[in-house]
Amino acid sequence: MKRILTVILVSLTLQSYAAVMPYGSVARQIQDSLNRSTWILNWNEGVWIDLIKIPYDISEEIKAKLLSKTTAEWLDVVSNGSEAEQQEANSALGVSYLFGVGAKQSEEMGLLYLQVAADKGRANSAQYIALAYGGGIGKITEDYVEALKWYKLADKLNTTSENKFDLGAMYLRAAEQATVRKDYKQAADIHKESLALGHKQPAPYLTALYAAGLGVNEDMDKALEYAKQVDIKTLFNNDDDYKKFGDKLSPETILALIKMNISGLNNNIFKRSDEYHQARLILDEAVHKNDPIGAYIAHKAAYQTKDFSYAARVMDIAAEAGLPAAQF
């Protein structure tokens, strides 16, 4: 069976704090990367679902295979074929009903036949179920949390190199949808499971959840531990900047950026001010580690609060390290 490609379209809007960072600087690139981690905490459920829903179809080759037998003939194979033939027939019937190819479309019947095949060990059938939920095929309600369950089964059953997919990305989509539904605990659990499997994408999300206290108890120590697991290279848009500054970027800077964004989401002015102050204290720890990016961001934050003496001092640290945004 030909590999099925899943395309997800997500539209992102940056927090207003990002405007503080000048375009083209290393710090801005990191800010843009991290904004996605915190912005999802405030996504609107309906908008998110509408934005990612796209049409799915199957290839002409697969359609020809499905139409090589009538529905009655596939049912006969289910009854009288070998075990392998029965699995193939159940899967064929499932896809036929799911997409309405050679049979009247019935998502319920499609999922039923596909589940029978998946339960007997057919990886492609599990992947079709995952696609059905992930894409909201036909009348099926789009549900990436449910889709993840079937993607995990498909990955477990697939013993070949064919039809492989990025399971880490599937975990991420499921966690994002749980976040949109404001089920932050489920989102945190999904992210933790993914991280335990070696996927790096969840680290900044878990940093944000622990820093905000969403789905978990607010715990800045744990947030910092997750910040230490962020894949630093993904925060830079080019290799040159990464080679120059990647080893200097501290987890404290990552945590502080996220905490600053979280503070902007708080409607309580006193709580917002307190969180912003916490972020500045964390940035000061980055400054003491001679992190030029942290120093530059600390400069911008200090300048906003009219702490000009501190702003000038930390700007010198960033400038001496050669940070482009700190050059005059």
Domain boundary among 141, 176, 206: 141
Ranges 18-22, 124-128, 301-305, most confident: 124-128
Kindly state the average pLDDT of the residues 290-310: 91
Question: What is the C-alpha separation between 200 and 312, in angstroms, rounded?
Answer: 36
pLDDT surpassing 90 at residue 16: no
Question: What is the C-alpha separation between 22 and 7, in angstroms, rounded?
Answer: 32
Question: What is the C-alpha separation between 46 and 31, in angstroms, rounded?
Answer: 26
Question: What is the C-alpha separation between 114 and 172, in angstroms, rounded?
Answer: 25
**Secondary structure letter of residue 328 according to DSSP:** -
CB within 8 A of 30, min separation 6: which ones? 235, 236, 249, 253, 254, 257, 293
Q: Does 127 share its domain with 176? A: no
pLDDT surpassing 90 at residue 163: no
Q: Does 172 share its domain with 283? A: yes
Domain boundary among 124, 141, 158: 141
Per residue in 29-50, pLDDT (tens digit) is: 565 545 444 433 443 333 333 3
Q: Does 315 share its domain with 178? A: yes
Contact 115, 132 (CB under 8 A): no
Kindly state the average pLDDT of the residues 23-33: 51
Range of the domain at 254: 16-44+168-326
Q: Does 201 share its domain with 307? A: yes
Per residue in 53-87, pLDDT (tens digit) is: 445 678 899 999 999 999 999 999 999 999 999 99
Mapped onto helix, strand or coil, the DSSP state of residue 81 is coil
Kindly state the average pLDDT of the residues 261-269: 80
Q: Is residue 49 part of a domain?
A: no
Residue 55: what pLDDT?
A: 54
Global pTM reads 0.79
End-to-end CA distance of the chain: 59
Report residue 167's pLDDT band, with 50, 70 and 90 as the boundaries.
confident
- Which DSSP string corresponds to 205-259? HHHHHHHHTSSS---HHHHHHHHTTS-GGGG-SSHHHHHHHGGG--HHHHHHHHH
Mapped onto helix, strand or coil, the DSSP state of residue 280 is helix
Q: Does 95 share its domain with 242? A: no
Q: Does 32 share its domain with 66? A: no
